[in-house]
Structure 1
Amino acid sequence: MALDRFQNTVDGKRVAVRETFESLDPFTGKPWALVPLDGPAEVEAAVAAARKAFRSPQWAGLTATARGKLLVRLADLIAENAERLAALETRDNGKLLAEMTAQLRYIPEWFRYFGGLADKIEGSVLPIDKAGMFAFTRREPIGVIAAIVPWNSPLMLLTWKLAPLLAAGNTVVIKPSEHTSVSALEFVKLFEQAGFPPGVVNTVTGMPLEVGVPLVNHPDVAKIAFTGGEPGGIAVYRAAAEGLKTVTLELGGKSANIVFADANIGNAVNGAISGIFAASGQTCIAGSRLLVQRSVHDQVVDGVVKLAATARIGNPSDAQTQVGPITTQAQRARVLSYLDIARAEGAEAVLGGKCPDAAELKDGWFVEPTIFTGVNNRMRIAREEVFGPVLSIIPFDDEEEAYAIANDSPYGLAAGLWTADIARAIRGSASLEAGTVWVNSYRAVSYMAPFGGYKRSGVGRESGQEAIDAYLQTKTVWIDTAGQVANPFIIR
């Protein structure tokens, strides 16, 4: 059967494909699409197009209001194409079609929100202390942005970068994951339909060393916005430092989901399942450490095991499926290796712990929802990001111990807290070292809410009003109004 073929977009045109590589369907384990295999030459062309567009009157000459209207028009086009794009993402990364469809239907809100913010970017007049001088500030775009996105939620995580950077007036070169490039290649076609000038949004696809490295190192790239694993983030940060570029990094997590004895246990159980088994655990905010107060430990474990055992594993395109495959074969092997590590450390698998043996799942990259008890916070299974459907349950006695365990991690992306005590909720939200804290909820995001990590979970924030600041720089303008130059040998 012929494979679907896709092309990159550079300078508003579909690029002729020199060489390709296969994209694999995680449910079948078989190739389904051919993606351009780019290299340094393609990166050079894409950055040149973005740099040219950044300085062009068609983009730089637009009013901020006109930029905002383009983003709102794009939002409408995304809404019209949501189901088609969601189906491509599911085929490419194996996540549930229901999950991808929900994301695609919500993504337009980021473009509407930042479209509205585009003409709210303001400088200020300074009440300057120098007589005969007028001074003010301007907020200006940075330049060409490299947007590098992972395979777990490609278009949503790309949107978190694109909406603010475009609202601020920058241009972009997108490098999607080599495992899930297809949806981005189709997505960027909508920018042309919305009326964006050529070269404002460009794509390159291929392998990290041949495409990612030259993109990050390119002297005309002013900033890198990266979401992915910690090793990749460190490499990006190091390269950015050498080029004196700014970065936004959203990296790993080992989030604590904390259940106190006074919580609504049924809700907490549902929140624990949502935190780790939704998206097959392939999310940086996964609540992979479930901390349970000792007096309700057995009750919570029983509830979580019983509910997780009912999860329907299968074809991610089937509306009845609740747990899909792992996105890549290598990632599945990594998840399975952590199951062995956990057992060797003395943890007990009270659910799952292997690949499912159903005949209809044999070709896909599945791992059963797995729950470990007997875990302590020094074990690797509690300290290292697994990025799969693997839950570690850790008991605690009181608030102080709960927060100590939760914060005893190199990561600080998110945390959950389940309690009926509002004072405890406020104390906990202050005590937890995490960029997001959910109380009696888990895994909620919004275009209005800043998102990012403490510690090794990243640098900077995406979404919310402050996200646009990451793509702006400040210029101070001085104007002499006195008409007389003072002593030129003395600072004014």
Structure 2
Amino acid sequence: MITYQNFIGGEWVPAKSGERSQNFNPADTREIAAEYPLSGKQDGMAAIEAAKKAWPAWAAMTPVARGRILSKASQILESRKAELAELLTREEGKTLVESTGEVQRAIDIFRFFGGLSYTLGGQTIPHDLPQQLLFTRREPLGVVGLITPWNFPIAIPAWKSAPALVSGNAVVIKPATQAPAMTLELARAFSEAGLPKGVLNVVIGEGRAVGGELATNPAVVAVSFTGSYAVGRQIYQQLAHRMARAQMEMGGKNPTLVLADADLDLAAKLVAIAGFGLTGQACTATSRVIIERSVADAFTQKLIEKAKAINIGNGLREGVTMGPAVSKQQLAGNLDYVDIAVAEGAKLAYGGRRLTEGEHAHGYFMQPTILTHVSPKMRIACEEVFGPVIGIIAVENFDEAIAVANGVEVGLSASIVTRDLKKAMLYTERIEAGVVKVNQISTGLALQAPFGGVKKSSTDSFKEQGAQAIDFYTRVKTVYLDYSA
């Protein structure tokens, strides 16, 4: 078991209450993964004050100097990649292959933004009068709050903190309590890389106390949040009330369209990876397959064969391809949605039950689940499950498929499998989603490209990732200079 403290003002400190909590390995709950402080409002206030104190000197550094620290942190993380991947698997549950990939993504994100530091700045704009200079400056905001989820416990803190830091902001991160170890390890890497004390702070605690402080404290000028719609909406309202900047990335109900002309073997492979990979615990996971009726039965059989081939178990064991749900509550929610779907008229084609025998006896394991005869108005077709549960909706044609895909309140990621180039391009135009994939899995993102959703998936104001991520963490100042005299 690893014992952690909060990271505030460059120091490892306990919660002011002295209270602590433990996280258990979701694959084997007999094992304590780590122990943490149980922080409250006062700890959040201390972290904000530390960031406020550190910010002016950090903002005064050049972007390149800040970028070098990000690059150094990337090197430190890379030297510890295997160790961090194992820790991630023990706490969050995903397979070691998946955890290793996620740690590598964090490494690459810091490397990317370290390099991007050489290009940060404003632009020169042609003036309509002679001997006039018109240009912009890009400046940091100040203290920003980052509220991150448990499902990508190192990648999401990385893709939020990297642009925030390289832009010259000081940050306070509140990671989800189910899997905060990776964020604390990021703090350790930055401390070793020479980040000035107080520029990055991490506070472990419940959202209502610590997250609430970030949302309401006037010293915090912006908050970037990833999590559920209900919590995101509440934080958004709190920020709007005091006119602070907000970036909310929330849920998805991501469709993969399978057209009659598709390679069904490819379609089944892509859907299985996107729906069952990461135990379905990805905001971009495929949870709806919308398929032309003429090929629905054949596709379903191929998808069932893919599900049967999945090796479910402890992610540290070689050969395992799907780990447990992150918690008892998440598992119960997944199984409840299966029961609700069947009660509403869906048919259970495969899976749908908890695994409790042998190596599964002490973990939160369930079978990958396939539901057929799903109609667009069923809850399983409209609400995010966040587990390895796929509903198959049969439609008559491409136009109906688009209508069904768009008939939900969210719009994060969407995929299509087809050989028809025209329909593929029409899909990219007509689908209501922030990310569109053609003949690819709905999960998986390029770190150099912007990411974000539409409708209730996002505030849809500022994108995350890629060079555009800088926009949320900076303001633009316009400068007019007359040198005619």
TM-score by length of 2: 0.95
Match of 1:168 in 2: 167
Amino acid at match of 1:469: D
Query: Which secondary structure does the structure 2 equivalent of 1:50 belong to?
Result: helix
Distance of 2:411 and 2:208 partners within structure 1 = 28
Amino acid at match of 1:433: E
The alpha-carbon distance between structure 1 residues 437 and 112, as it changes in their structure 2 partners (threshold 3 A), is same
Query: Which secondary structure does the structure 2 equivalent of 1:441 belong to?
Result: coil
1:302 maps onto 2:301 in alignment: yes
Distance of 1:102 and 1:482 partners within structure 2 = 57
Distance of 1:68 and 1:305 partners within structure 2 = 48
Residues 447-468 of structure 1 show CA distances to partners (whole Å, capped at 9, x for unaligned) of 1111110101112311112111
Q: How does 1:339-358 map to 2 (within 5 A)?
A: 339-358=338-357
Match of 2:456 in 1: 456
Match of 1:281 in 2: 280
Residues 175-201 of structure 1 show CA distances to partners (whole Å, capped at 9, x for unaligned) of 010111112112210001111111111
RMSD: 1.6
Distance of 1:119 and 1:11 partners within structure 2 = 27
Query: Which secondary structure does the structure 2 equivalent of 1:122 belong to?
Result: coil
Match of 1:486 in 2: none
Distance of 2:289 and 2:347 partners within structure 1 = 15
Match of 2:377 in 1: 378
Distance of 1:22 and 1:403 partners within structure 2 = 45
Residues 136-179 of structure 1 show CA distances to partners (whole Å, capped at 9, x for unaligned) of 32110111111111111111011110111112111110101011
Shifted more, 122-131 versus 22-31: the winner is: 122-131
Deviation of 1:364 (Å): 0.8
Distance of 2:337 and 2:214 partners within structure 1 = 33
Amino acid at match of 2:185: E
Residues 189-216 of structure 1 show CA distances to partners (whole Å, capped at 9, x for unaligned) of 0001111111111100011122111122
Deviation of 1:411 (Å): 0.8
Query: Which secondary structure does the structure 2 equivalent of 1:391 belong to?
Result: strand
CA contact (8 A) 2:150 2:178 kept: yes
Amino acid at match of 2:27: F
Distance of 1:358 and 1:273 partners within structure 2 = 24
CA contact (8 A) 2:448 2:465 kept: yes
Match of 1:445 in 2: 445
CA contact (8 A) 1:237 1:247 kept: yes
Query: Which secondary structure does the structure 2 equivalent of 1:107 belong to?
Result: helix
Distance of 1:236 and 1:63 partners within structure 2 = 32
Match of 1:490 in 2: none
Distance of 1:351 and 1:125 partners within structure 2 = 60
Match of 1:330 in 2: 329
Match of 2:36 in 1: 35
Match of 2:55 in 1: 54
Residues 341-387 of structure 1 show CA distances to partners (whole Å, capped at 9, x for unaligned) of 10110101010111024232122111211110010111001000011
Query: Which secondary structure does the structure 2 equivalent of 1:288 belong to?
Result: strand
Deviation of 1:134 (Å): 4.8
Select which of 474, 477, 483 maps to 1:475: 477
TM-score by length of 1: 0.94
Deviation of 1:74 (Å): 1.4
Amino acid at match of 2:254: S
Shifted more, 192-201 versus 29-38: the winner is: 29-38
Distance of 2:405 and 2:471 partners within structure 1 = 30
Query: Which secondary structure does the structure 2 equivalent of 1:437 belong to?
Result: strand
Q: How does 1:101-180 map to 2 (within 5 A)?
A: 101-128=100-127, 134-180=133-179
Match of 2:21 in 1: 21
Shifted more, 142-151 versus 82-91: the winner is: 82-91
Deviation of 1:128 (Å): 4.4
Distance of 2:131 and 2:431 partners within structure 1 = 51
Residues 289-341 of structure 1 show CA distances to partners (whole Å, capped at 9, x for unaligned) of 01111111111000001110121111111121111111011111111111111
Shifted more, 250-259 versus 437-446: the winner is: 437-446
CA contact (8 A) 1:255 1:286 kept: yes
Q: How does 1:177-326 map to 2 (within 5 A)?
A: 177-326=176-325
Distance of 2:72 and 2:166 partners within structure 1 = 13
Query: Which secondary structure does the structure 1 equivalent of 2:135 belong to?
Result: strand
Distance of 1:251 and 1:217 partners within structure 2 = 20
Distance of 1:374 and 1:37 partners within structure 2 = 45
Q: Please tell me whether Structure 1 or Structure 2 has the larger radius of gyration of its CA atoms.
A: 1
Deviation of 1:61 (Å): 2.7
Query: Which secondary structure does the structure 2 equivalent of 1:458 belong to?
Result: coil
Distance of 2:119 and 2:480 partners within structure 1 = 23
CA contact (8 A) 1:98 1:319 kept: no
Deviation of 1:131 (Å): 8.0
Match of 1:488 in 2: none
Percent identity reads 38
Distance of 1:29 and 1:300 partners within structure 2 = 37
Amino acid at match of 2:478: T
Distance of 2:471 and 2:388 partners within structure 1 = 35
Residues 213-243 of structure 1 show CA distances to partners (whole Å, capped at 9, x for unaligned) of 1122111111111111111111111111112
Select which of 6, 10, 13 maps to 1:12: 10
Distance of 1:249 and 1:388 partners within structure 2 = 22
Deviation of 1:477 (Å): 2.8
CA contact (8 A) 2:257 2:416 kept: yes
Which ranges of structure 2 fall in alignment gaps of 5 or more residues? none
Amino acid at match of 1:190: A
Deviation of 1:392 (Å): 0.1
CA contact (8 A) 1:253 1:285 kept: yes
Amino acid at match of 2:473: Y
Distance of 1:481 and 1:437 partners within structure 2 = 49
The alpha-carbon distance between structure 1 residues 105 and 127, as it changes in their structure 2 partners (threshold 3 A), is closer
CA contact (8 A) 1:256 1:290 kept: yes
